[in-house]
Structure 1
Amino acid sequence: MNSTETWFVQLLEEHGVAISPLQLQQFQSYYALLVEWNEKMNLTGITEREAVYEKHFYDSVTLSFFMNMSDVSAVADIGSGAGFPSIPLKICFPHLRVTIVDSLNKRIQFLEHVVQELGFQHVACVHGRAEDIGRLPAHRDAYDVVTARAVARLSGLNELCLPFVRKGGVFIAMKGSDPAEETAEAKRSLSELRAKLTKVHHLKLPFEQSDRHIIVIDKLADTPAKYPRKAGLPLKQPIV
């Protein structure tokens, strides 16, 4: 292992996440594919190995520090971009059935290539807008955990993501700086979408020491039929 992989494995182990040699190799392959494809399309502004492992890989897995992933079966990642947090979570927890939704087909092509190269089973990469995919019976009210990392303000994000969550499941929004203003602004959307905020966890990245917040929202009942509204409206005219 190089120095980056050494601290990565050690820090995850401190949080109860054990990485096998195969899983470490999958992270290595993922990093190589990310850098390779980033030369022809804009996937990330971060490409230096140490930074990718800290700000993308480790950051993605922090979700599992606050949730028992052995109790989770089906995960949907909305607006996944280059595959965060879903791909690192799938590497660490191979039992997960993962659906990745992104509106840009080029990113979906990259993610499909990653899935193939890493030898994943039970990962679906879906091209489309969350407002449209969230109305399809196969995806609506269907997932134990739905994630979104650095996608949009919570008042609009709730409407994009909560329709995917099953009753009794959770939506986890991964944010950077203190989301207190966002969570206050999002109260009406939570009520409308039959959900409630249950916890906001705070942590810092190990080296950069930048703030991260993990917002946990419980789904109380099935999504009302009128949500999500047509594509574009949730972010342009959020429920506030």
Structure 2
Amino acid sequence: MRMSPEGAELLLGAGRELGLDLEPHMPRFARFYRMLVEANQRMNLTSVRDERGIILKHFVDSLTCLLYPGFVSGMEVVDVGTGAGFPGLPLAIVRPDLHFCLLDATRKKVRFVASAVEGLSLRNAEALWGRAEELAQGVKRETFHVAVARAVSSLPVVAELTLPLVRVGGFVLLQKGPEVEGELGHSKGALEKLGGVLEEVLSLSLPVGGEARRLVVLRKRRPTPKEYPRRVGVPAKNPLS
């Protein structure tokens, strides 16, 4: 299924609201849209299936990460829990000067992301199967400038899965909803243990739809102690405090 002319204009208009000229990137977005819709008919990649929803809740929502001005050319970025490629793939399309490692623990999703990277001819992205807890205790520990994540879990949980992957001086950018405001006060101790601090919280509204979003920025101030992250599953079952 191809992206309709109305869908294309919706994406272009939303991009303009974010200060982005998406016109040069439309062929890739159109192909990504087609790949996602076709693959989603065979496997459950995303519950969002309508064109408007995919464009706004996946493509545009991913691109709101670029409202934070901290991304610098040449940075290595890891997308933790990328799922079907969000926010990493839309960011990789728009920012070819950054390199993205798209990490997920579900093989079928990683296979799709890998096929999308190849199908879109993205030389600045790679798909990786694995768990953040294990990779952060191995060769990927403190190797990235940036970690991004659509943060479904609580802030202490996501911080433990992301901060150990980021080098000192780098940052973590978490996409959250307004509910994160209630998590901030309970997260200071966890961030301190992990070597990070809360730098800022950007409030925004998703273009067109107007849904409230928050971009939570954590800065890595010092190396994460070796005991973090804890073994697979523990951060979610017993969040740091």
TM range (shorter): over 0.9
Letter in 2 for 1:184: G
Shift of 1:14: 4.1
Q: Is the 8 A contact 1:79 1:151 kept in 2?
A: no
Shift of 1:64: 0.3
- Aligned twin of 1:218: 219
2:37 aligned with 1:8? no
Superposition map of 1:1-240 within 5 A:
2-21=5-24, 23-71=25-73, 73-137=75-139, 139-240=140-241
Paired with 1:191 and 1:207, the residues of 2 have a C-alpha distance of 37
Change (3 A) 1:140 1:168: same
Shift of 1:49: 1.2
Letter in 2 for 1:183: L
Letter in 1 for 2:8: E
Shift of 1:197: 0.4
**Number of aligned pairs?**
238
Three-state SS of the structure 2 residue aligned to 1:5 is helix
Paired with 1:69 and 1:159, the residues of 2 have a C-alpha distance of 22
Once the two structures are overlaid, the 10-residue window that deviates more, 82-91 or 38-47, is 38-47
Change (3 A) 1:13 1:68: farther
**Deviation digits for residues 6-39 of structure 1 (CA, Å, limit 9, x no counterpart):** 2322332343322243x11111111111111111
Shift of 1:225: 0.8
Letter in 2 for 1:204: S
Q: Is the 8 A contact 1:69 1:93 kept in 2?
A: no
Shift of 1:211: 1.1
Q: Which runs of 5+ in 1 are unaligned?
A: none
Q: Is the 8 A contact 2:195 2:223 kept in 1?
A: yes
Letter in 2 for 1:232: G
Shift of 1:111: 0.4
Q: Is the 8 A contact 1:90 1:98 kept in 2?
A: yes
Shift of 1:72: 5.4
What CA RMSD, in Å, does the superposition of the two structures yield over aligned residues?
A: 1.5
Three-state SS of the structure 2 residue aligned to 1:172 is strand
Three-state SS of the structure 1 residue aligned to 2:102 is strand
Three-state SS of the structure 2 residue aligned to 1:152 is coil
**Deviation digits for residues 154-197 of structure 1 (CA, Å, limit 9, x no counterpart):** 11111101011111110011012331121222211100001100
**Deviation digits for residues 121-173 of structure 1 (CA, Å, limit 9, x no counterpart):** 13221111110011122x11111110110331111111101011111110011
TM-score of the superposition, structure 2-length normalised? Answer: 0.94
Paired with 1:97 and 1:207, the residues of 2 have a C-alpha distance of 29
TM-score of the superposition, structure 1-length normalised? Answer: 0.94
